[in-house]
Amino acid sequence: METDDNKDSRETLWKLIKGTRMCMFVTLHENGHLHARPMTTQNKAIDEDDSLWFFASRRGDSVADFALRPEVNLSYANPDDDCYVSVSGRASVVVDPAKVDALWNKLAAAWFPGGQTDPDLVLVRVRITHAHYWDVKESKLRQLYEMGKAAMTGKPPTKLGESGEVRMR
C-alpha cells in the first residue's frame, strides 16, 4: 500500500524527470568500467509498477551490459531549472508489442527506420528501486549569496532547495 508521503515523493520525482526526459543511462560493462550513454525516457508518467521505459538497439552495448548485470543508474540533469535526479534500478528487455505501440513516437522513428517492428528495436524497462533528487528553487542571485555566506562562515549552505529520496522496493 502506498503512503501519502511516498505518493508525493513519486509525483515530485516524475515532475523532475518529465522536465528533462533525456538521461545518461549507466551500466556496468563486463570489463568492470561504467558506461554511460544518453537515452530518452519514453513514459508519460511513472508506471504503476514503478518502471521507466526506453527504446534501445538490440545490438547496443547497453543491452549486453545489463543482460550480465541488470543494475543500472539513470542520471537526469536540468541545469537551467537546477533540477537533478539519480535513479537506481534493474533493467530488462521486455517483449510487448502493445507497449511499443503505446510509447512509439517520431523521434524513435529516427533511430529505428523499420518502425515499431524494426528487428533492431528492443523495449527496455527499468524498475526503479531507489531515487534521489535535488530541486533548487532559489534564484541564481540567492544561490550566490548563500554560497558566499557559506564560504565566509565556513558553514555549508542550508537554504538551497529541496532534496529527497524515493524508495520503491
Question: All 3 cell numbers of residue 151?
Answer: 564560504
- Output DSSP code: residue 82: T
82 and 116 Cβ atoms separated by less than 8 Å = no
Question: All 3 cell numbers of residue 21?
Answer: 526526459
What is the phi-psi region of residue 21: left when phi exceeds 0, alpha when psi lies from -120 to 50, beta otherwise? left
pLDDT at residue 104, as a whole number: 96
pLDDT digits (tens, 9 = 90+) for 120-132: 999 999 999 999 9
Residue 113 pLDDT > 50, yes or no?
yes
pTM for this entry: 0.82
